[in-house]
């Protein structure tokens, strides 16, 4: 895919099966939430990981039976697992 230098592009910020995110969207989210772009990217990556690859854990966060901070630890581990987890492997973790 051809991109013009300096133009916006989509980048993956979570595991396989999660949608890519527009690069500037992350910076805008960080500005609105009063956090750095790196922190916003991590937060959004965790949300995508939970929603798309760990749906049962996400459901438990929504019901309040699992605290969000704990679910984010799991999401962080599945995003950065070595070797990378497939969508099926993440489903097993879920």
Per-residue model confidence (pLDDT) at position 39: 96
Distance between CA atoms of residues 1 and 22, nearest Å: 15
Q: Which residue has the tokens 């995508």?
A: 48
Give the dihedral sign, CA 8/28/25/46: positive
User: What is the model's pTM?
Assistant: 0.85
Q: Give me the tens of pLDDT residue by residue for the chain, a chain 94 residues long.
A: 556 777 777 889 999 999 999 989 999 999 999 999 999 999 999 999 999 999 999 999 999 999 999 999 999 999 998 888 888 888 787 7
| Residue tagged 């991109």 (tokens) | 3
Q: What pLDDT is stored for residue 84 in this prediction?
A: 82
């Amino acid at each position: 895919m051809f991109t013009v230098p300096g133009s916006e592009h989509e980048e993956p910020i979570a595991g396989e099966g999660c949608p890519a995110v527009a690069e500037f969207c992350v910076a805008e989210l960080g500005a609105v939430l009063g956090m750095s772009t790196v922190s916003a990217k991590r937060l959004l990556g965790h949300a995508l990981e939970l929603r798309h690859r760990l749906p049962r854990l996400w459901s438990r966060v929504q019901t309040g039976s699992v605290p969000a901070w704990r679910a984010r630890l799991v999401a962080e581990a599945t995003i950065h697992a070595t070797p990378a987890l497939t969508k099926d492997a993440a489903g097993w973790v879920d």
